[in-house]
Amino acid sequence: MRPVRRPRAAEHAVAAALLLLVGTACGSRLPESDFEHDTRAPTQNSTPLRVGIVTSATSPVGGNTFTGPQDGAKAYFDRLNARGGIDGHRVEVRECDDGGSGVGNNTCVHRLLDEDKVVALVATTALDYAGASRVSHARVPDIGGQPIGAAYDTWPHLYGIYGSLAPRNGTPGWDGELYGGTEVYRYFKREKGARTAAVVSYNQSSSAAYARLVQRGLEAEGYKVVTEQVDFALPNFRAAAADLKEQGADLVFDAIDTHGNAQLCKAMDEVGAKVIAKVTNVQNWASTVPDDYKDSPRCRNALWATGSSRNYADTGNAAVREFRDATKGLKTHSQWQLEGWAAAMWFTDAAKSCASTGITRACVDGFMNRSENYTADGLLVPVVFERLAEPPKTRRTCLSVARWQDGKGWVSQGDMNSTCFDVPQLAYEP
């Protein structure tokens, strides 16, 4: 059976782990006639193609938390323009920082669609994608966005970086429920022999909800689950670390922020808790590990990350080498940067397919809607967009896995196109 990717619950719940409730608010629904204009590239190749990037760069979560995909996409377009652009057209990037708010997001969407008249949005990374419905009704393709919240499983013309199986008819998922698989838990059980897992969360609603989802997935895979909840205002990580040590946890998952993770790891080192893996998500798959976990060398070297894109540190791969060469001026590197790079490549491939007839929103959207098993030159596990009437009960899903090692950085664990599992799909509410 072919390798297939679909969004994992963990990837949909980044915002939950960041302790913020993220929903898809309905933006202004304007008549489609308000958006009717010809965005086809003129025959003069000196006319640029405009794309928009919406990022919650100054969100309440903190500076630079969401800027990785934007940085990767801009690096790709810079290199593309240096090589002549698309059919001679330079790509002109219009950025908009929505401040992490729904109001700001709607403002960005209005500016980019109606004033800047972008052909597409690329690598959207919005804490509150309130303008998603407006983008959809304008039939503007949103390519390779990060699924923070449910927008990419709700609206047509929105194409998240991990694909979607949902009907995308204006309701999240299937009747308001999304589905995620248990492949991460299956991996550590089969490949590492893990049997007991701890799940650490705050006593805060979204953190606790995400922790319950992780717990359900672990229990479905037959794990003994140890739950540890700490106070959001005055967290006692040492007590949690001592208990998970006492309970013999092989793995540690969490629904807490980066700072909390660093404190948890420090506490685990202090109490002598040794685990097979301290598992983190794609957002924390970055070169900042030595600084973020400077006080916990043992726990730091037990960090593992899972995702659906090729390890940004795997420079043995030609596509990764090109990404790293183009981003060598950045102070740090991350998996989200690589995924932003892949999103820009996806737009470029779509636009190139339209060059002979005119690079319009409709043509680019048609390419995206036909996308099947897209890999961005091997950087992504094959992406699929299907509109299934019923949610799948099981799914074959492939994983990219890496672990941190001091002196080596993030080291890939096997090939992502062959680390695949047939796993159950569990429902959850976004």
pLDDT at 306 over 60: yes
Q: What is the mean pLDDT of residues 334-350?
A: 98
3-state secondary structure the chain: CCCCECCCHHHHCHHHHCCCCCCCCCCCCCCHHHHCCCCCCCCCCCCCEEEEEEECCCCCCCCCCCCHHHHHHHHHHHHHHHCCCECCECEEEEEEECCCCHHHHHHHHHHHHHHCCCCEEECCECCCCCCHHHHHHCCCCEEEECCCCCHHHCCCCEEECCCECCCCCCCCCECCEEEEECHHHHHHHHHHCCCEEEEEEECCHHHHHHHHHHHHHHHHCCCEEEEEEECCCCCCHHHHHHHHHHCCCCEEEEECCHHHHHHHHHHHHHHCCCCCEEEECHHHCECCHHHHCCCCHHHHCCEEEEECECCCCCCCCHHHHHHHHHCCCCCCCEHHHHHHHHHHHHHHHHHHHHCCCCCCHHHHHHHHHCCEEECCCCCECCEEECCCCCCCCEEEEECEEEEEECCCEEEECCCCCCCEEEEEEEEECC
pLDDT tens digits for 223-242? 999 999 999 999 999 999 99
Q: Which residue has the higher pLDDT, 223 or 17?
A: 223
Q: What is the pLDDT of residue 32?
A: 32
Q: What share of the chain in percent tops pLDDT 70?
A: 89
Instruction: Say if residue 13's pLDDT is above 90.
Output: no
pLDDT of residue 16: 46
The pLDDT assigned to 27 comes to: 30
